[in-house]
Structure 1
Amino acid sequence: MEGISRRSFLKGVGVVGATAAMGAGLAACSPAAEPSTGGSDAVETASGIGVVVDAASTEEADIVVVGSGIGGFMASMIAKEQAPGATVVMLEKNAKLGGSTNYAECNGPATNVDEAEARLKGLDAAAKTGYIANSILHAERMREQGDNADWLFAKHGVGWYRAGVVFYEGGNGSSCISTLTPIAKEEGVDIRTEARATALLTDDEYTVTGVQYENAEGDVVHIAAKAVILATGGMSTNKNLLGQYSSQDMDKIIGWGEGQDGDGHLLAEQTAHGRANHLTVDSLFNNVGNGTDSLAYDSPLGVSAAMQYSNCFVNEYGIRFCDESGGGALGTAESGKLVESQGYVFSIMDSANIAAYEAGGCERHYSGFADACVGATLDLQSELAQYEGVDYIFKADTLEELGKAIAAKADTFAVEDFLAEIAAYNGYADAGADAAYGKDAKYVWKIEQGPFYAFQICSGMLNTSGGIRINRDAQVTDARGKAIDGLYAAGVCTSGWDGEVYGGGTCQTVGMWAGSRAARHAVEHKLGGTVADDWMGTERSQDSSEAQGPQGGDSAQGGEAALGDL
């Protein structure tokens, strides 16, 4: 038996920067000391979040936006467009702008949904989450989805294309950020990178008066502001902190992203909002890894071994436990939860399977990088060589030797049961019918030609959704809906969108809607200005009938969840 490679996921294609690698270590997650005002015991003080300290300098602004993903950009730009004389500052903790939008798909053009239909669709969206989601928030998002799409795709020229699902131009949202950045600068948005917001400034637990941040030189700056908009992303790069809010076993999850450390959640906890509430682990696709190390997030080997309907999965007992295709319609989010439900999951392949994927056997469109693999010739052998030696890929000349290698890692693994499962699976391939779970015969590939491979599978968490309660104007509220004056939130840091499984249409579109709504409300109610009726522009985006997902937003989840719909 041979193993196959020790590489961190950070090695892959420069996808995640060193800042993200450090994200999980930014928080010691020890119980909090006293927060500046109000707050909960979960406020993290080890990294200085939620603690107001003396400032090296102070300044004033009208609106401060924390975060530079789609929610942050739309909030900053719409505020500046509707109040040209206002001082709008956008703070980004990383050196690079864009946050998780850099890895996102998009919703594409859309049309507004009328009030009555939006309420019904919002209720349906909530029902699909077991009523964890807020039907009214979904309705509000759908009522304005066309306006927000027009602002992004028509007024500001952000590109997109369709290939199975809808993607930003180039396959991810980095093209969106590169399009918006020069426009925002020209409009006069004051963009500051390496500027980590560390505390809110408050008069009391219901009144926010500004924000504290640390600049690239390490100096603390206080900005007095009429409104602060938190667009800080999720917690996927801080699994230590996330473990305090989620019931999910973090060891079964690979966390990706950049700077998604839960900062905004902890800032909101300074106020009467209290403890961040329901967080969904957005397991948007599976990959090969052990929960700490993994293949690169856009690895063709990961696409082939972890996310194809033709995969064969066995668990910690050596037993196949599902139809890996979900009846040919398993969304990527459901794929992740399927993996998380087991102690271990191993994808079993033989050399013929490897060759089939190399010859163009990948079929699933679920991300920009996966889309590039569909029907394409792949070089998996180089990855197998690159990752030689890792403890999550196994290779053996016989199935029995492969089973023994797996059992050396998972002591519950029964080699005899495993051999019986693979024999039965091969029988299903011969018979043209999966008698165990009913998977379509075209996805049942025989496993009989050595050498044989086993790939440990983890769910891939590109983000989390939820945490900060907001109302219909994207104002942060307490548990009973009372608004925190001067504080707004946008994007995946906000709650009300998902249940335990990421539902689609709840990341990019939420950032778009909440960032837009927060800016417009702040301009009118905090700056005393007026928002133009044509704030979204006079041009309409196209292809609206096709680009809307099942909740009236992002790429359709039917068989293919939106990977980076973040």
Structure 2
Amino acid sequence: MSNHPETNVDIVVVGSGNAALCAAISARENNATVLVLERAPEHKRGGNSYFTDGAIRCAYNDLADILKLMPDVTEEEAERIVMPEYSPSDYYDDLMRVNSDKSDPELAGQLVNRSYETIKWMREQGVKFELNYENQSFEKEGKYHFWGGLPVKTENKGIGLMTNLFKRVEELGIEIWYEARAKELKKEDGRIASIVVEKDGQSLEIQTTSVVLACGSFEANKQMRSDHIGNEWQAAIVRGTEYNTGDGLSMALAVGAEKFGNWAGCHSIGTDANAPKVGDFTKPGDIFKKHSYPLSIMLNKDGKRFVDEGADFRNYTYAKYGREILKQPDHVAYQIYDTQVRPMLRKEYDLEEATFYQADRLEDLVEKLPVDKETFLKTIEEYNEAVQDGEYNPTVKDGKGTRGITPPKTNWALPIEEGPFYAFPVTCGITFSFGGLHVSPDGEVLSVDGGTLDGLFAAGEMVGGLFYENYPGGSGLMSGAVFGKLAGAAAADYSRKKNSEVTK
């Protein structure tokens, strides 16, 4: 590491997750000099991206498009794959549908239309991809049928993604400062001219032509969660890095950036009630989530159901059901399964970290839970009686639902009647907050007075206006990469123009 900050660095990138490193790589490819600032120590680098499951949602035409990303897939393996098309319009429609048409159309279009080319670019940078067999396909008559528009994931989850991005950053000679907390942006002649950094107990000012902010939202800041999303969010578990406390947002707003998007909303999920309070870097890979709930019924401590567990595939409901769990007494709910569906549950239910209760009879199971036992059993009985006949098929929305109870269960409704029975306690884990900055389609930060904040760019969780009430799974990583790449290139272009003005 340099003893003194360079005074002539073209671009400072704040953060070291997926979006930040994509920005740094993109800027370096465009011949800019780049310095990356990471608040965390080196062993906790990588931001929230390190904790992801690696699923990344892109538009594609057919299986051939997917296989271009994965040259190791054999012809024999490919012949056993049934891959439905997932066009840009499919992706766009999903994004709009789950966000009640509130997503900014221009930003949404950029995310969707740039998704496949960005995935190809990531592969050129050394990121490896594989088929998401485990969570997005079902085997039927010897073939793997993919569904839900999410067949691609990074090899070895978020750990693999970040390992390969850091490797590429090193190859390109991009310097990273760890335990370097960005504190303040400074303007000169109406543009960003420097950034103040706290490093080794000192306050340093780095002169720069442009800054790319990609250091996450405010999900790890209890006070900001309480102020913007609601008091109950103080109780939420932080699923990722503890360092995403809104520093980038605060710095940008202080120099006149415009807030954008749903500051009262966030991405949250049902996660193991005994998961760590903040992301544990020794146990990454999203191992605490509990995402087979469409096959369950979920009851709170009062013994009541509170959502339609089978409203849609989990891709389209998990990001909003977390907050529904948070609203329940003591912020806890119980996913209930019987032995009919237990073998169908996702692998996270079999990990040693999974908390669960088991009994041969429902009456014995409920005795192990701190719940209103009588109501709990009555709710299950009423649910069982409401289940309608039909063909049960978890590969499609099978319409096998309930009648006469509220909330209904629209799909995948089986009576809970065959022991052993299982209860998995879940609480709410926050991933990132939806509120961010207003950016242009190229990642330029827009100001409250309607123009651009010259020299300031943003990417990743800091981009507001994409996600509102919900989130199509895998869109966060894709958005980080798309807007990271765009912001890095735009910052390099801006720096090149500024530098040429100086030399004239």
**TM-score, with length taken from structure 2:** 0.73
Contact 2:59/2:112 (<8 A) preserved: no
Q: 1:316 to 1:510 in 2, by over 3 A?
A: same
CA distance in 1, matches of 2:278, 2:181: 28
CA distance in 2, matches of 1:430, 1:151: 49
Name 2:460's counterpart in structure 1: 491
Name 1:311's counterpart in structure 2: 296
Are 2:260 and 1:260 aligned? no
Q: 1:491 to 1:203 in 2, by over 3 A?
A: same
Are 2:22 and 1:74 aligned? yes
Contact 1:497/1:506 (<8 A) preserved: no
Spell out the pairing of 1:460-479 with structure 2 (5 A cutoff): 460-479=429-448
Of residues 13, 36, 47, the one that matches 1:65 is 13
CA distance in 2, matches of 1:293, 1:447: 35
SS at match of 2:310: coil
Instruction: Kindly provide the CA deviation profile for residues 313-335 of structure 1, in whole angstroms up to 9, marking residues without a partner as x.
Output: 22353222343222566632243
Q: 1:198 to 1:150 in 2, by over 3 A?
A: same
Of residues 370, 378, 386, the one that matches 1:406 is 370
Q: CA deviation at 1:103?
A: 2.2
Q: CA deviation at 1:497?
A: 0.2
Of residues 98, 104, 107, the one that matches 2:56 is 107
Contact 2:58/2:112 (<8 A) preserved: no
Name 2:224's counterpart in structure 1: 241
SS at match of 1:153: helix
Q: 1:323 to 1:137 in 2, by over 3 A?
A: closer
Of residues 379, 392, 413, the one that matches 1:421 is 379
CA distance in 2, matches of 1:486, 1:87: 15
Residue 170 of structure 2 aligns with an amino acid whose one-letter code is K
Contact 1:71/1:512 (<8 A) preserved: yes
Q: CA deviation at 1:509?
A: 1.8
Q: CA deviation at 1:184?
A: 1.6
Two-structure CA RMSD over aligned residues (Å): 3.9
Are 2:278 and 1:331 aligned? no
Contact 2:159/2:284 (<8 A) preserved: no
Contact 1:236/1:461 (<8 A) preserved: yes
Are 2:334 and 1:347 aligned? yes
CA distance in 2, matches of 1:514, 1:89: 18
Spell out the pairing of 1:130-529 with structure 2 (5 A cutoff): 130-163=100-133, 164=136, 165-203=150-188, 206-215=190-199, 217-247=200-230, 249-251=232-234, 253-258=236-241, 259-273=243-257, 278-279=262-263, 281-289=265-273, 303=290, 307-326=292-311, 331-343=317-329, 344-347=331-334, 349=336, 353=339, 357=342, 360-363=343-346, 370=348, 378=350, 399=363, 402=366, 406-407=370-371, 413=372, 415-427=373-385, 434-435=402-403, 436=405, 437-440=408-411, 443-446=414-417, 455-479=424-448, 481-504=450-473, 506-528=475-497
Residue 445 of structure 1 aligns with an amino acid whose one-letter code is I
Q: CA deviation at 1:191?
A: 1.5
Instruction: Kindly provide the CA deviation profile for residues 20-40 of structure 1, in whole angstroms up to 9, marking residues without a partner as x.
Output: xxxxxxxxxxxxxxxxxxxxx
SS at match of 1:528: helix
Q: 1:73 to 1:430 in 2, by over 3 A?
A: closer
CA distance in 2, matches of 1:64, 1:301: 34
Q: CA deviation at 1:406?
A: 2.9
Contact 1:346/1:454 (<8 A) preserved: no
Residue 285 of structure 1 aligns with an amino acid whose one-letter code is I
CA distance in 2, matches of 1:168, 1:121: 16
CA distance in 1, matches of 2:5, 2:287: 49
SS at match of 1:309: helix
Name 2:82's counterpart in structure 1: none
Q: 1:252 to 1:403 in 2, by over 3 A?
A: farther
Q: 1:479 to 1:131 in 2, by over 3 A?
A: farther
CA distance in 1, matches of 2:301, 2:260: 34
Q: CA deviation at 1:362?
A: 0.8
Q: CA deviation at 1:300?
A: 7.1
> Can you give the 5+ residue segments of structure 2 that lack an aligned partner in the other structure?
62-86, 137-149, 391-400, 500-504
Name 1:46's counterpart in structure 2: none
Contact 2:57/2:475 (<8 A) preserved: no
Residue 317 of structure 2 aligns with an amino acid whose one-letter code is G
**TM-score, with length taken from structure 1:** 0.66
Spell out the pairing of 1:112-127 with structure 2 (5 A cutoff): 125-126=95-96
Contact 1:138/1:497 (<8 A) preserved: yes
SS at match of 2:470: coil
Name 2:33's counterpart in structure 1: 87
Moved more, 96-105 or 279-288: 279-288
CA distance in 2, matches of 1:239, 1:299: 21
Contact 1:202/1:210 (<8 A) preserved: yes
